[in-house]
Structure 1
C-alpha cells in the first residue's frame, strides 16, 4: 500500500510526488490520461518573478526560483533550463511599470530599470517605439514536459509508481478520514490522497465531498517556424502583469514573446473563462499575432507553424491552494496555480512535503491554506 496517492501527473503532481519520495515516502501517481499530457503540455515553461506583485504568490515564486536548481541537481536531467532573464517593456508611459518594479524591489526582487536604448541593446529587434522597460535577471525558462517527465522518472527510480489512463473518481472514508481512493481501475487503499488535478481539481474535490473553487481558465499560444537566434529573453509588454492578476472572465490578451532551444518562437498570451470549451478561436490567434508584431515587427514575415491551448487551474483570489483539507483527514490539495504552475512547482512540492511530514515549512503556508473563503466559501 502506498503512503500517498497523488492524483494528477502534471508538473504540480509530479513535483509533489518527487519531493515526497525524496523524503522517503512511497508514492503512487495516477492520471486519467497520459502523464504530463494536460495543462503541463500546453504550457510555455515560464519560471517568473517579474509578473507578480508583492505578496504571498511572489514570495512563493522567489522561493521556487531558488528551489528549481536544487531539484534539477537532484534529477540530473536535461529539461532545457535557461536562466536567461526577462524584459518587460512599455510603448507608452513608463510610470506604472516603474512603480510596479519599485514595489517588487522592496520585496527583494532584482528589477533593473532600462532606457529605450538599453532595451534595444538587450533585444535589437524590438520596435523602436519602446519607451523603456525593466530587466528581471531572475526570470528563467524550462521545457515543462521534459521537467515533469524527469520528476516522474525520479519517482519511479525511488520505487514509486506512475499509472496513466486511470481516473480517480473519489475517495473512500472511514468516518472523517481517508482510507483509500476509488478509481476506474478499482479501489486503492492509502491514508493520504493529494488532489493535484489542475483545472479538474474542483471536480475531484466535489467527488470527494470536499468542494473547492478551482475553475478552468483557457489560454492559447502560437508557435512560429524555427529561426536563428533573434529573441534573447522572455519579452512581454506591461499589459501582461494586469492580465495575469485579473479575475475578468472575458477574453484578455497581452504580448509575450520568447524563443525555445529548438529555435521556435512562442507567442502568447490569452486568458478567458469559458469552461472546458476547447474550440480554437481565430480571433484570439489574430489578436495574439497582431500584438506580437507590434512588439517585434520582424515577426510579420515569420510563418506560424501551429497553435495550441490549454486549461489552467484558476482560484478566485489568484493564489494556489496548498495543504490539508480540514474537512477530511488525509485529503490534501496542490492546485490553483493558474498559468504559473511551472514556475511555482518546485516550492509547491517542497511545501506540501514539509507540511505532510511535519517539517518546518520553508515559506509561510497560511496564505495558501484550503480553508480560506475564496476557495471553500465560494464552492459551498
Structure 2
C-alpha cells in the first residue's frame, strides 16, 4: 500500500519535501493557507551557503543540499529558478578579524568545504573599499530565486502525482493508538494521511502544537534592501566576517551584518538584519539606515545609488540555531521539517531528501537518517517526552 503523506507548508522547504516524496512514489498532498512560497520564502535572498556554517549537523546538511541543488537544476533546468554558482567572498575589516576568519575557514576545510584565502580582495571584487586586509573565497556558495524555486519544485512534485490543497491546518486526526490518520483543515476538510510533514516555516511551532507535537520555532525579523537596476557591479555574494557570529547569536536585540550581492535583473540586494520582535511587521527606518551605511562602507559606489525598496519577513529559528528535521516520538506519523532560520532556501533539497528517507525508512538521494541524528526533535524533549 502506498504511504499517504500530507505536507503542511508550500514554501521552498515544503515544496522540496513534496518533490522528493512524490519522486519516491509516495502519495503526496501539499496544503497551505496561502499561495506557493508566500511566507518566509518570498522574503529571502536565495542564499545557498556553506561559508557561514560551523562544522556540525547544519554544515553536513548544507553540503548535501549544495549537491542536490545542482541535481535539481540538472533535472528542472537551472534557469527555471535562477540557480547561480556565483561563489561567496567573506571579507575582514581588520587584521584580527582576518585571523579569526582564516581560523574558521580552516575548520570548514577540514569538514570538506572549499575555502580559498584571498589577500587582495579587490582582484575578485574591484568595487570594494580600499584597505581591506583580506578575506576568504568560497567557490561553492550559490544563489537561487526563492519563489521560483518553490514553484518549480512543487510543479515537479505535481508531475510525479502530488496534489495541492489550499487550506489552513486546524489539527490532527488520530487513531486509537495515537497515530496520525490525517489532518483537519479550518474549513472542515479532512485530508487522510499516514504521515504529516510540518514544513510550516515560521509557523512551524504553531502547526506542531496543532498536531499535538509542539516544537519551539520562533520568529526573527529581518530586512533586505533592493537598489535600482545597475550594470554588473558585484560579482559574488559578499559579506563581512561578523555575519557568521550574528547568525549564531541568541541576542534579542537588533543585529546587522552587511551582505551584498547582485541579481540577474541588475538590482543589488543588501542585508541582513536580525531582531526578536515576535511577529511585529513594523517598518523600522533605523534598520534600513544602518544596513545602507554598512553596505556603503563595504562598496563606496553604493552612496550614489538609489534604494528602490525594502522588504521584511521572519526567519524561523530554534533555540540551538539548528533546524528540526525528523519524526516526532510523541505523535507517530508527525515528521518535522522547520526551524531553518535564514538557511531554509539553501537547506531545502537536503531537508526534503532527509524527510523522504525518514518516511521510507531507508536512505534517499544521499540522505541517510543515521547521519543526521543531531537534527531530530527529541533533542528538545525530556526522557518523558515533555519539552525541555
Fold agreement, TM-score > 0.5:
yes
Question: In the aligned structure 1, how far is the partner of 2:266 from the partner of 2:62?
Answer: 27
CA distance in 2, matches of 1:335, 1:14: 12
8 A Cα contact 2:32 2:168, kept in partner: yes
Aligned: 1:160 with 2:167: no
Equivalent residue number for residue 298 of structure 2: 295
Q: Aligned pair 1:67/2:95, yes or no?
A: no
**Counterpart selection for 2:261 from 240, 258, 261:** 258
Question: Does 2:339 align with 1:336?
Answer: yes
Name the SS for the 2:358 alignment partner: helix
SS in structure 2 opposite 1:277? coil
**Alignment correspondent of 1:130:** 132
Structure 2 residue ranges without an equivalent (≥5) = none
- Confirm whether residue 370 of structure 1 aligns to residue 377 of structure 2: yes
Matched with 2:227 is 224
**TM-score, normalised to structure 1's length?**
0.96
Superposition deviation, residue 373 in structure 1:
2.5
Q: Which residue of 2 aligns with 1:105?
A: 109
Instruction: Give 2:350's aligned residue.
Output: 347
- C-alpha distance in 1 between matches for 2:356 and 2:280: 34
Instruction: Tell me the CA shift for residue 2 of structure 1.
Output: 7.6
Question: Does the CA contact (< 8 Å) of 1:214 and 1:375 recur in 2?
Answer: no
1:371 Cα deviation after fit: 0.6
Cα distance, 1:309 vs. partner? Answer: 0.9
Which residue in the other structure is 1:195 paired with? Answer: 198
The worse-fitting range, judged by mean Cα deviation, of 71-80 and 309-318 is 71-80
Structure 1 residue aligned with 2:247:
244
2:218 to 215, 219, 226: 215
- Shift in Å at residue 378 of structure 1? 8.8
Q: Does 1:172 align with 2:187?
A: no
Structure 1 stretch 251-260 or stretch 25-34: which is displaced more? 25-34
Please give the per-residue CA displacement for 1:299-325, whole angstroms capped at 9, x wherever unaligned: 011001010011111001111111111
The Cα offsets for residues 125-146 of structure 1, whole Å up to 9 and x where unpaired, read as 0000311000000000010111
1:193–1:375 Cα change, 3 Å: farther
**Structure 1 residue 360, shift from structure 2 partner:** 2.8
CA RMSD of aligned residues (A): 1.6
Relative distance call for 1:259 and 1:245 in structure 2 (3 A) is: same
Aligned partner of residue 371 in structure 1, secondary structure? helix
Q: Is the 8 A contact 1:315 1:374 kept in 2?
A: no
Q: Distance in 1 between matches of 2:191 and 2:62?
A: 34
1:57-81: CA deviation from partner (whole Å, max 9, x where unpaired): 1111111101111122222362111
Give the Cα–Cα distance (whole angstroms) in 2 for the partners of residues 123 and 105 of structure 1: 23
Q: Is the 8 A contact 2:90 2:135 kept in 1?
A: yes
Contact 1:325 1:333 in 2 (8 A): yes
Describe the shift of the 1:96–1:257 C-alpha distance in structure 2 as closer, same or farther (beyond 3 A). Answer: same
Aligned residue number for residue 276 of structure 2 = 273
2:308 corresponds to 1:305: yes
Specify every segment of 5 or more residues in structure 1 that has no aligned partner in the other structure, as ranges.
Answer: none
1:252-277 residue CA offsets vs partner (Å, 9 max, x unmatched) = 00000000000000000001111110
Mean Cα deviation higher: 68-77 or 154-163: 68-77
Structure 1 runs, 4 residues or longer, greater than 6 Å off:
374-378
Shift of residue 375 of structure 1?
10
How far off its partner does 1:379 sit?
Answer: 4.5
Q: Distance in 2 between matches of 1:218 and 1:19?
A: 30
Q: 63-72 vs 228-237, which deviates more?
A: 63-72
Match of 2:33 in 1: 32
In structure 1, the residue corresponding to 2:377 is in which secondary structure? coil
Q: In 1, Cα distance between the equivalents of 2:72 and 2:4?
A: 22
